Amino acid sequence: MHIFFEYILKMSLTFLFVTTGAGTTFSQTKNSGFPKTENYLKLLQNSDSLIWVQDSVYYYINSSGNLVLYARAKVTQRDNTGNPLSYVYQMWSANTEKWKNSQFYNLSYNTSGYKTREFVRNWKNESETWEYYKNSLFSYDSYGNLIQNIFQDWNISVSEWENNHKETFTYNTDNFLTTYILSVWDLEKNEWLNKEKYEKSYDISGNETEYIMQVWKKEIYNWVNNYREIYTYNTQNLLNSQTNQNWDTILSSWINTKKLLFSYDSNSNITEITNQYWDLQQNVWINTFRDLYEYDNRGNILIYTGQNWDNGNNKWINVHRIIYTYDANGNKLSITKQFWNSASNTWINSYKYIYTYDFLNHLISAIFNLWDNNSVSWYTSYKNNFFWSEYDPNKPEKLPDNITVYPNPANDKIKITGKNTDICDIKMYSVSGKEIKNIFFGEKDKKEVDINNISGGIYLLKIKTANDSTVIKKFIKVK
């Protein structure tokens, strides 16, 4: 599979479930440093009890200076709480002007909405069939804590699932994660073998105080220390320092390697993280790098600056920075990465992400630009378009689907087709929410809309079908 496509498939998992807000995430403070998981229970709902769901993500890449359709990730079925039961990854064939299947996901959930299974199939062009690929099983305790993941691969030679690796989690009485064990399946012995273990400790305030990684040594059939992090906190329970240490097997003791020091503003926002390394000869900490953060009055990061320590001149030297912008609703509009040019004492652009939203604050596009030093301008490397719909949980079988708007971008007219779907009426909106047109259709087949008299820009179509489903589609009017 193409490397870029593998990347966007992984990104789709986040994009397709961007509406969710429930469940455990191991990237949170109490669980940092462990593999991530999440459930997809809660979704955004409007006043009519309909659920706004993200139907699909479309990917465009730069080809000879033009953005061309490349791939998409599309939800094909949901349950009555809005959880996706299946979604498909497809690549666009410009030659045949058709979608080519790539991967298909099936998901299952328990009664609490936590994902219990993820089953993946790959498309085989030769036989034009789906072939088993990967299977993942998830288990939880009565509190909803993830306690086990089992990952399996399909063995085509024996036509059965074969264990690959397993993750096991334990928690204390406060439901804080305390242990994570990674095991791998031994095909010869037909049993699980330990590989890595991570342990966490906490103080009486629930702050993580220690994180230890151990590796399994089969020669002595026991765990052996490998790495640890020690955390300290200030009187406001904000992280004050993190000390990293490696285990010295010869000395049988922990050896300092790195330290992070944290500073905060009056709003408890991190303003500085100083990185230091341990000098074994001098037995002192030496500055290496620091991160500086600036915020707006809402607590959003405006500028992140990375600097290296110049030990010879005893000062900090700029390396790179990231600039963030936001709209009035706090939505992130852009992320710009720059590098410091010491010769000219100026910042040089590197890349930029640009985001746009509809009038409901749903993300509808993300554009990745690269800086061209020769032309001294930005050019687009790839773009993602996100499509949303109102979904009625009482009609899970009526998932809005098969509606196409083309050409996109368009100049004078757009055509709207609904495969096995009758379109009743269409409302056109600007991204700010202003209604531009209200169009009624009483006929089937293709619908054509004149857009000659509207200004160039991004527009939304709210399309109502005969089965009372509503689909939101976006199109671009070329100026």
3-state secondary structure 2-47: CHHHHHHHHHHHHHHCCCCCCCCCCCCHHHCCCCCCCCCCCCCECC
Please tell me whether the overall predicted TM-score, pTM, comes out greater than 0.85 for this model. Answer: no
CA distance 348 to 337: 9
Q: Residue 423's pLDDT is what?
A: 78
Cis (ω within 30 of 0) for the bond into 407?
Answer: yes
CA distance 245 to 225: 11
Asked if residue 64 lies in contact with residue 25, where contact means CB atoms within 8 angstroms, the answer is no
pLDDT in tens, 59-114: 999 988 888 999 999 988 888 777 889 999 999 998 888 899 999 999 999 999 99
Spatial neighbors of 12 by CB under 8 A, at least 6 apart, are 57, 73, 87, 89
- For tokens 């992130």, what's the residue? 332
Indicate the range of 226-230, 293-297, 475-479 predicted with least confidence.
Answer: 475-479
Spatial neighbors of 216 by CB under 8 A, at least 6 apart, are 193, 194, 195, 196, 197, 222, 223, 224
How is residue 451 written in tokens?
């857009």
Q: Residue 402's pLDDT is what?
A: 64
Asked if residue 200 lies in contact with residue 207, where contact means CB atoms within 8 angstroms, the answer is no
Q: Which residue has the higher pLDDT, 112 or 421?
A: 112
Which residue pairs from 80-83 have beta carbons closer than 8 angstroms and sit at least 24 positions apart in sequence?
Answer: 80/393, 80/394, 80/396, 81/41, 81/43, 81/113, 81/393, 82/19, 82/43, 82/51, 82/53, 82/391, 82/393, 83/40, 83/41, 83/107, 83/109, 83/113
Q: Residue 39's pLDDT is what?
A: 29
The full set of domains in the chain, from first to last, is 1-100+341-399 (no CATH), 402-479 (2.60.40.1930)
In terms of phi and psi (left: phi > 0; alpha: psi -120 to 50; beta: otherwise), the region of 412 is alpha
At residue 29, does pLDDT exceed 80?
A: no
> Using 50, 70 and 90 to split pLDDT, how confident is the model at 410?
confident
Pairing of strands 470-477, 435-440: unpaired
Q: How far is CA 305 from the centre of its chain?
A: 23
CA distance 306 to 275: 11
What distances in angstroms separate CA 92 from CA 101, 344, 381, one per listed residue?
9, 44, 17
pLDDT in tens, 184-220: 999 999 999 999 999 999 999 999 999 999 999 999 9
| Residue 13, phi then psi, degrees to nearest 5 | -55, -40
What distances in angstroms separate CA 476 from CA 213, 359, 409, 456, 464, one per listed residue?
51, 16, 5, 7, 20
Beta bridge partners of 384: 59, 366
